[in-house]
Amino acid sequence: IGRSCVIYPNATLYHGVQLGDRVIAHAGVVIGSDGFGYAREGTTWLKVPQLGTVVVEDDVEFGAGTAIDRGTIGNTRIGARTKMDNQCHVAHNCTIGTDVVFAAGAKVAGSTSVGDRCVFGGNAAAGGHLTIVADVRLGGATVVLRDLLEAGDYMGFPVMQKRKWMKTQHAMQDLLEMREAYLLQKRAAADQN
């Protein structure tokens, strides 16, 4: 544990976890618990030992109830000056860059790499084994299931550039009216035959 860290009540640091200087872990934070690692053998799931740890760099803050899983073999890494709101989750073997911000409930599945200065809106989620480059900003409740290799603003599910998502949402508002007009035209054509 580095210098000037603040660990609030009921925060838990598992064995081998490394904290840099000035790290803040609010109440109920868990750092270094086992990742969700299982391998199927026949019809049974067997636990894969989680032998890595978590390395947290300087000036990171974790909101209440946040969980950071240890790596399976290597380390889960949280970059300097990253800030996480309450109820966030980083799964095993993830690498989170520097100056990243996670709003309430944001989560990242195992072995995903998040670049520097990324922003995850509330309840945004990224699947496992993905690459998200630096300077990606995800709107609230966005779900990422593919690599994001270009910086920018993204939203929705499936994830798309924010500008396209906004146009899609506007178009969806007109779909019911368009369907009704289509059905009226179809009935009129049938009546003429």
Which positions are annotated as active-site residues? 92
Which tokens belong to 47?
A: 């636990």
Q: Say which residue the tokens 């894969």 belong to.
A: 48
Which tokens belong to 21?
A: 């200087």
Q: Measured between alpha carbons, how far is 72 from 53 in angstroms, rounded to an integer?
A: 8
32: CB partners within 8 A, 6+ apart: 12, 13, 14, 15, 16, 17, 53, 54, 68, 69, 70
